[in-house]
Amino acid sequence: MAAPPSVAIYPGSFDPITNGHLDLISRASRMVDLLVVAVLRNQSKHPLFSVEERREMIHEATGGFSNVEVTSFEGLLVDFAASRGASMILRGIRAVSDYELEWQMALMNRRLRPEIETVFLTAGEEYSFISSNLVKEVASLGGSVTGIVPLSVEARLQRKFAARAV
Ligand code: ADP
């Protein structure tokens, strides 16, 4: 009997997607049959981009991967993962500072659904300083984010901040 397809969920805010996220997606897409990039619908955060805009940007940036799907979810991550038949949750570690919160979340998620494993990948060192928050801050002040985010994200950031300036 054939083994069931391996499915991993890569959850996050992706506000916006960066080349650090993309590096992780590229590594993970080689490890599983299907990688579901899932934008969290979180009422308590105040994102720059709407969930739909974030999904569009991820979609544009991941078009070259045949086994990557883009979606959004709300509620408990492990319940969403189970509903998609996923056995893995993928998270990224940039530096030691990411570790504590990621470790807490991984243990809580294991408690909730022990059959789902959290897998951590490290981004390439050239991406390890990149965060969506830093990208937004630099772009809002007119700094260049070329090479740090996909081209389409760069253009959208410029439009967003130009619209805010008027
Ligand atoms: P969240 O709001 O859940 O932290 P993010 O969109 O910021 O979502 O990030 C999603 C995941 O990707 C997190 O596990 C984060 O640590 C990881 N990540 C973000 N940027 C990078 C990067 N440059 N290198 C490696 N992992 C990253």
Distance 66 CA to ligand 1 centre (A): 22
Q: Could you give all domains of the chain from N- to C-terminal order, each with its CATH number?
A: 7-128 (3.40.50.620)
Atom of ligand 1 nearest to the CA of 122: 25
Distance CA 148, CA 132 (A): 10
**Ligand 1 first shell, C-beta below 6 A:** 12-14, 18, 20-21, 24, 91-92, 94, 98, 123, 127-128, 130-132
Distance 94 CA to ligand 1 centre (A): 8
Q: Whose CA is nearest to atom 2 of ligand 1?
A: 13
Q: Are 69 and 63 contacting, i.e. CB atoms less than 8 angstroms apart?
A: no
Distance CA 141, CA 161 (A): 9
Distance 1 CA to ligand 1 centre (A): 37
Give the pLDDT score at 136: 97
**pLDDT tens string for the chain (166 positions)?**
778 889 999 999 999 999 999 999 999 999 999 999 999 998 777 999 999 999 999 999 999 999 999 999 999 999 999 999 999 999 999 988 889 999 999 999 999 999 999 999 998 899 999 999 999 999 999 999 999 999 999 999 999 998 877 6
DSSP of 93-144: E-SHHHHHHHHHHHHHHHHH-TTSEEEEEEPPGGGTT--HHHHHHHHHTT--
Q: Which residues are catalytic?
A: 21, 45, 94, 132
**Local structure of 35: helix, strand or coil:** strand
